[in-house]
A = this chain, B = another copy of it.
Amino acid sequence: MSAVTDTFRNGVDTEKMFATLDLIKAQPELARFQFRATNRWIDGAHNRSAIKDFYAAGGEDESRGEAFRLDAGEPAILLGSDTGPNPAEYLLHALAACLTTSIVYVAAARKVRLTSVESTVTGDMDVRGALGVSDEPRNGFERIGVAFRLTGDAPPEKLREVVERAKARSAVYDMVTNGVPVAVEVTTA
């Protein structure tokens, strides 16, 4: 029983985690992943993504029995009927979720047991950009603020180090702060 207790920390199987890291160090080609979403317009601001298969560690990962389905929308003030969070809100969620998971994994690796991780994420936007009314404000958020509240069995400095390391490794934090090249293709038929 104590072996099981020692292996799992913050809900993460640390034995499996270190084995995964060793495997990827030995065979870097296994680190090639591709994630995907397919999206379909429904009506107005309502569209829906399906997320299921992905490429990982040398082959297609088909472990998911069913696709996750995500509905997007806009509130009435942005001409929608509130069929789901709007796309910019989904981006805030992606950022909070990625930083949180990174914090949890880093803490597990560093033998820190967390008791709570909560965050509030805000994004400020001048919608004249996205609505095409003015070229001056950018289309997206001018800035994003993330406020984390952490508790765990480590001193404050250690918890802050965990957050710093998570920022340095989070996939979505990297993308949102640094940007990613996006290629858009269009087929009309």
Contacts and interface: CB of A to CB of B under 8 A. Distances in A.
Interface centre among A41, A120, A178, A183 (most CB of B within 10 A): A41
Contacts of A121: 36-39
A184 B146 contact: yes
B182 A35 contact: no
- Taken together, the copies of this chain in the complex come to 2
A189 B138 CA distance: 37
Interface string A150-189: 1100001001100101010111111111111111111111
Interface in A1-52: 10-13, 16-17, 20-21, 24-25, 28, 31-41, 43-47, 49, 51
B72 A171 contact: no
Decide if the interface of chain A is mainly helix, strand, loop or mixed.
Answer: mixed
A76 to B, nearest CB: 6
Contact of A182 (B47, B125, B146, B150): B146
Interface residues of A, number: 130
Contacts of A33: 124-127
B143 A183 contact: yes
B41 A171 contact: no
Which of A21, A146, A160, A180 lies at the interface centre, i.e. has the most chain B CB atoms within 10 A of its CB?
A180
A93 interface: yes
A94 to B, nearest CB: 4
